[in-house]
Amino acid sequence: MSKQSFYLIPVIIVISFLSACDSLPLNNSNNGDLTASGTIAAQEVKVGNEVGGVVQEISVVEGQTVAEGDVLYVIDDSLLQAQRDQAVAVVGVAEASVATAEAAFEGVQAQYALVVQAARLQNQSVRTNAWNESPLDEFILPAWYFHKTEHIAGAETEVQEAIDDLDIKVENLEKKLQETSNEDLQAAEARVNEARFKLENAERTLEQAKKAKDNDELEDTAQKEYDSALLDLEAAQTEYLRILSSSDEEEILDARAKVAVSQARLDNAQDTLDFLLSGDENLQVKAASSHVSQAEAAVDQAQANLNQAQAGLEVIDVQLEKYTVYAPTSGVVLSLNVEVGEIVTPASTALVIGNLDPVNLTVYVPEDSYGNVYLGQNVEVTVDSFPGEKFIGKIMHIADKAEFTPRNVQTVEGRRSTVYGVDIVVPNPNQKLKPGMPADVTFLNGR
């Protein structure tokens, strides 16, 4: 299986192990300086992983020196790699959808431009003659006084008023019919209307028969049909007049006339509005503009889907980086707690790195010497491994509470004493000082 170079941000738990148990209480040296002994301890960094899985490869061993950024171990990421391949495919589909939507948008824009151009050409004569039109004699303002949009607004108002007026007239007619009529009258009206169309159709048929060649039989038959239709109309009208009284007839005729006039008003108002809706106000232009807006929205939606797919891919890439664990700091691998093939869980400690620069040292100060030490005070540190070489450290922390000397202090009297812990940090750029080395400390007063 090929390895992928994906980085994992390790979970780091830093604990400074101070050598409390191996420290000796403070003593006075021959030259009057205060001295103490302790054991060198390294700053330990516990390294774990943010994701769980099977350990695929381990790149270090215990005791190995590592630099910050070195690969420590790798977790199997084959399942996530398959998910990434799927996410890449989704991104590809989304990119294709964006390209398709953009192409459709460009096509709709071109179609819109053609529709606008055609509408303006059609409206050219109207625009040219607009100022030359003669308004009504009763209209006191010039023809050009109102803007086109104002003309349209006026025409739309007239259309709506005509619709409302027609509704009123139709309602009034229906009311008259209900007041003056019965079922017989309504049936008589229906027969008159049907007989009229029958006669008109028979008349057209007779005219066709007269124009045909060798038409004697055709004309005779068509004439009979015409005569029959005429008799039907006369009979229907006679029956209608019989049922309808003279007063009712006048009221219904008046109501129907009002409906007809109102309908004509609406038709004329709509014709005027349709005439004004030319050029950029053409309904075809508006429809084309709506299509442009829809196509633009489709592009935005496709782009949003692409952004979502790309975000999903980025999430997987971030997760993949966590499957390779790198050294968070330089140091020595103190312990290695995993093996190849082992299943590790998130936040578990896989190995421990000791940071050797600086190193730590803890000694204990008796109560009667507590006032002789202070934060930031320099100390000299010596170890048996490098006789004659002195390492300069500094006090970084002094305990606030007294405690009994640790039990590994050599004398019974020393163990009965109460002391204060003093934490010392010693720079170790050459990494000569190693964890576990016994060390002697001399407190430098003013030095």
- In this structure, what CATH number is given to the domain that contains residue 158? 1.10.287
pLDDT at 23: 46
Q: Where is the domain boundary, 216, 244, 277? A: 277
Are 71 and 155 found together in one domain? no
- Range(s) of the domain holding residue 33: 11-77+329-443
Q: Where is the domain boundary, 291, 320, 349? A: 320
Q: Where is the domain boundary, 277, 294, 309? A: 277
In angstroms, rounded to a whole number, what is the distance separating the alpha carbons of residues 257 and 404? 120
pLDDT at 226: 92
What percent of the chain has a predicted confidence (pLDDT) above 90?
48
pLDDT at 15: 33
Question: How does pLDDT run across 70-108, given as a tens digit for each residue?
Answer: 999 999 999 999 999 999 999 999 999 999 999 999 999
Confidence of residue 351 (pLDDT cuts 50, 70, 90): very high
Are 150 and 266 found together in one domain? yes
pLDDT at 69: 94
Class of residue 7 by CB neighbours under 10 A (exposed 0-12, middle 13-18, buried 19+): middle
Q: One-letter amino acid identity for 10?
A: P
- The two tokens of residue 59 are 């790149």
Asked whether residue 139 is domain-assigned, the answer is: no
Asked whether residue 50 is domain-assigned, the answer is: yes
Are 173 and 287 found together in one domain? no
Asked whether residue 140 is domain-assigned, the answer is: no
Question: How does pLDDT run across 157-184, given as a tens digit for each residue?
Answer: 989 999 999 999 999 988 887 776 567 7
- Kindly provide the b/e burial profile for residues 50-64, where b requires at least 16 CB atoms within 10 angstroms of the residue's own CB: bbebebbebebeeee
Are 195 and 178 found together in one domain? yes
Asked whether residue 234 is domain-assigned, the answer is: yes
CATH, residue 432: 2.40.30.170
Are 267 and 284 found together in one domain? no
Are 73 and 119 found together in one domain? no
Confidence of residue 304 (pLDDT cuts 50, 70, 90): very high
Q: Is the pLDDT of residue 412 over 80?
A: no
Domain count across the chain: 3
Q: Is the pLDDT of residue 133 over 80?
A: no
Q: Is the pLDDT of residue 318 over 70?
A: yes
Confidence of residue 414 (pLDDT cuts 50, 70, 90): low
Confidence of residue 120 (pLDDT cuts 50, 70, 90): confident
pLDDT at 126: 62
Are 273 and 284 found together in one domain? no
pLDDT at 30: 52
CB of 255 closer than 8 Å to CB of 176: yes
- The two tokens of residue 332 are 């020595």
CA dihedral of residues 248, 252, 254, 260 (deg, nearest 10): -170
Asked whether residue 419 is domain-assigned, the answer is: yes
Confidence of residue 27 (pLDDT cuts 50, 70, 90): low
Are 284 and 270 found together in one domain? no
Q: Is the pLDDT of residue 247 over 90?
A: no
Q: What integer is the mean pLDDT of 297-304?
A: 96
Per the prediction, the chain carries an average pLDDT of 83
Asked whether residue 1 is domain-assigned, the answer is: no
In angstroms, rounded to a whole number, what is the distance separating the alpha carbons of residues 396 and 44? 17
Asked whether residue 63 is domain-assigned, the answer is: yes
Are 272 and 284 found together in one domain? no
Asked whether residue 5 is domain-assigned, the answer is: no
pLDDT at 182: 61
Q: Is the pLDDT of residue 381 over 90?
A: yes
Are 194 and 233 found together in one domain? yes
Are 396 and 419 found together in one domain? yes
In angstroms, rounded to a whole number, what is the distance separating the alpha carbons of residues 357 and 434? 10
Are 403 and 338 found together in one domain? yes
CA 201 to chain centre: 67
